[in-house]
A = this chain, B = another copy of it.
Amino acid sequence: MNIVPIINTNDAVVPPPEPNSDLQGVISIKDNDSLAARLAVEMKADLIIVLSDVEGLFDSPPGSDDAKLIDIFYPGDQQSVTFGTKSRVGMGGMEAKVKAALWALQGGTSVVIANGTHPKISGHVITDIVEGKKVGTFFSEVKPAGPTVEQQAEMARSGGRSLAALQPEQRAEIIYHLADLLTDNRDEILSANKKDMEEAEEKGRLAPPLLKRLSLSTAKLNSLAIGLRQIAASSQDSVGRVLRRTRIAKELELEQVTVPIGVLLVIFESRPDCLPQVSALAISSGNGLLLKGGKEASNSNQILYRLTQEALALHGVKDAVQLVNTREEVEDLCRLNKLIDLIIPRGSSQLVRDIQKAAKGIPVMGHSEGICHVYVDSEASVDKVTRIVRDSKCEYPAACNAMETLLIHRDILRTPLFDQIIDMLRVEQVKIHAGPKFASYLTFSPSEVKSLRTEYGDLECCIEVVDGVQDAIDHIHKYGSSHTDAIITDNEVTAEYFLQHVDSACVFWNTSTRFSDGYRFGLGAEVGISTARIHARGPVGIEGLLTTKWLLRGDNHVVSDFSEQGSMKYLHENLPVPHRNIS
Contact B65 A479 (CB under 8 A): yes
Q: Say whether A511 faces chain B, with CB atoms less than 8 Å apart.
A: yes
* C-alpha gap A14/B511 in the complex (Å): 61
A522 at interface (Cβ–Cβ under 8 A)? Answer: yes
**Interface membership of A418, Cβ < 8 A:** no
The answer to whether A220 has its CB under 8 Å from any CB of chain B is no
Identify the closest chain B residue to A123 (Cβ).
Answer: B123
Residue of B with least CB distance to A396: B559
A384/B556 contact (C-beta < 8 A), A501-B161, A520-B570 known: yes
Cβ-closest chain B residue relative to A509: B553
**Cα separation A560 to B394 with both chains bound (whole Å):** 10
Cβ of A353 to closest chain B Cβ, rounded Å: 10
- Residue with the greatest number of chain B CB neighbours at <10 A, chosen from A357, A390, A535, A550: A550
Contact with B along A479-521 (1 / 0, CB 8 A): 1000000000000000100011101111111111011100011
Question: Which residues in B have their C-beta under 8 angstroms from that of A479?
Answer: 65
Closest to A342 in B: B534
**Tally of A interface residues using CB under 8 Å:** 79
Please name the residue on chain B nearest to A519 by beta carbon: B570
Given contacts A533-B547, A550-B521, whether A395 and B558 have CB atoms under 8 Å apart is yes
A539: interface (CB < 8 Å): yes
Is the beta-carbon distance between B244 and A582 smaller than 8 angstroms?
A: yes
Q: Annotate A448-465 by CB proximity to B: 1 below 8 A, 0 otherwise.
A: 000111000000000000
User: How many Å lie between the Cα of A511 and that of B533 in the bound state?
Assistant: 35
The answer to whether B511 touches A558, judged by C-beta atoms less than 8 angstroms apart, is yes
**Does A261 sit at the interface, judged by CB under 8 A?**
yes
Indicate whether A552 sits within 8 Å of B509 (C-beta atoms), given known contacts A246-B521, A535-B535. yes
B557 touches A505 (CB 8 A): no
Which of B521, B548, B551, B553 interacts with A254 by CB under 8 Å? B521
Q: How far is the CB of A496 from chain B (nearest CB, A)?
A: 9
Q: Check A512 against B559 for contact (C-beta < 8 Å).
A: yes
Cα of A498 to Cα of B254 in the assembled complex, Å: 15
Q: Is the CB of B248 within 8 A of A560?
A: no
The answer to whether A557 touches B520, judged by C-beta atoms less than 8 angstroms apart, is no
Residue A86 is within 8 A (CB to CB) of chain B in the complex: no
Chain B residue contacts of A252, Cβ below 8 A: 511, 515
Contacts A/B (CB < 8 Å), 21 sampled: A65-B452, A246-B522, A248-B522, A252-B511, A342-B533, A363-B363, A363-B532, A387-B556, A391-B560, A395-B559, A503-B549, A504-B549, A505-B550, A507-B550, A508-B552, A510-B557, A511-B552, A511-B556, A515-B552, A521-B550, A522-B572
